[in-house]
């Protein structure tokens, strides 16, 4: 299922569930009020403090983590561009014939890296481009070693070029891990459960009103569902509405400079 659609359905389901919890809490409050007429209904301050305190803590934790991972993923794109650019410049240390061959392979490699994340929502295409990039890494590495050992190469060609290529290769693993790095699902489950419990407590409190406070009943479920939607969108910046695709421009510009 499309990520935007699935996330929207989750947020909508949470919104309706919290509304239902509010209604149930209000009914419970009305029943207690009918059983004890004239007595002011108040929720347990200890229970409310625990529920809303923990809810606020989890929201702060997950939102901060999602925003931090979002920024880290953007920075990793720049780091990869810098690593590839450095390796590209150090290819000059090889003899002309070897340098030309390595540069041709690096152009293909960068094309594959750009295509990898353009096709991340297509599992087959993503796997194909990942495999292509991995094969090109081996070819570039082998060609660089052979070129550095060839007569005409700069004395420090191997010392300078190979570490740059190693960094270029390592950053791909770092980006793959960053893409899969998400908080445990139990965190989102706890957020949903605490939101429902909060709705129940708010509904119980609203039972003391003579008429339904629709503004109060709508604000809490709306804020919670929108907040969780944004958190989930930040966690998957290649699939939702909040995206890091613009950061790929630095790789595209680097590729254009190679022609």
Q: Where are the domains of the chain?
A: 3-257
Report the pLDDT value the prediction gives residue 218, as an integer from 0 to 100.
Answer: 87
Range with lowest mean pLDDT among 34-43, 103-112, 168-177, 208-217: 34-43
Instruction: Give CA separation, 245 vs 57, 76, 91, 145, 192, in Å.
Output: 30, 13, 29, 34, 30
Residue 174 has pLDDT above 90, yes or no: yes
Report the pLDDT value the prediction gives residue 135, as an integer from 0 to 100.
Answer: 96
pLDDT class for 137, splitting at 50, 70, 90?
A: very high
Q: Nearest to residue 152, comparing CAs of 92, 106, 87?
A: 92
Q: What is the pLDDT of residues 225-245, one digit of tens each?
A: 999 999 999 999 988 888 998
pLDDT class for 148, splitting at 50, 70, 90?
A: very high
Average pLDDT estimate for 76-101: 95
Q: What are phi and psi of 145, to 5 degrees?
A: -65, -45
Report the pLDDT value the prediction gives residue 121, as an integer from 0 to 100.
Answer: 84
Report the pLDDT value the prediction gives residue 61, as an integer from 0 to 100.
Answer: 93
Q: Nearest to residue 61, comparing CAs of 249, 187, 178?
A: 187
Three-state DSSP class for 211? coil
Report the pLDDT value the prediction gives residue 48, as an integer from 0 to 100.
Answer: 79
Q: What is the pLDDT of residues 98-119, one digit of tens each?
A: 999 999 999 999 999 999 998 8
Percentage above 90 pLDDT, the chain: 68
């Amino acid at each position: 299922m499309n990520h935007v659609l699935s996330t929207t359905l989750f947020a909508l389901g949470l919104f309706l569930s919290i509304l239902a919890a509010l209604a149930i809490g209000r009914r419970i409050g009305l029943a207690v009020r009918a059983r004890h007429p004239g007595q002011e209904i108040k929720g347990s301050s200890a229970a409310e403090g625990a529920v809303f305190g923990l809810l606020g803590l989890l929201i702060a934790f997950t939102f901060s983590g999602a925003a931090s991972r979002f920024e880290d993923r953007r920075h990793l794109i720049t780091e990869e561009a810098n690593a590839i650019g450095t390796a590209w410049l150090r290819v000059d240390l090889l003899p002309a014939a070897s340098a030309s061959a390595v540069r041709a392979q690096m152009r293909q490699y960068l094309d594959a890296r750009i295509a990898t994340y353009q096709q991340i929502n297509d599992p087959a295409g993503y796997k194909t481009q990942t495999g292509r990039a991995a094969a090109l890494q081996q070819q570039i590495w082998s060609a660089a070693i052979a070129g550095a050992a060839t007569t005409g190469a700069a004395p420090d060609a191997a010392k300078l070029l190979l570490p740059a290529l190693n960094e270029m290769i390592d950053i791909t693993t770092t980006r793959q891990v960053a893409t899969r790095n998400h908080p445990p699902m139990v965190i989102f489950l706890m957020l949903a459960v605490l939101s429902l419990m909060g709705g129940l407590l708010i509904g119980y409190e609203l039972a003391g009103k003579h008429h339904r406070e629709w503004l109060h009943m709508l604000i809490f479920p709306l804020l919670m569902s929108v907040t969780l939607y944004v958190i989930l969108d930040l966690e998957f910046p290649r699939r939702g509405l909040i995206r890091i695709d613009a950061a790929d421009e630095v790789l595209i510009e680097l590729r254009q400079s190679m022609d």
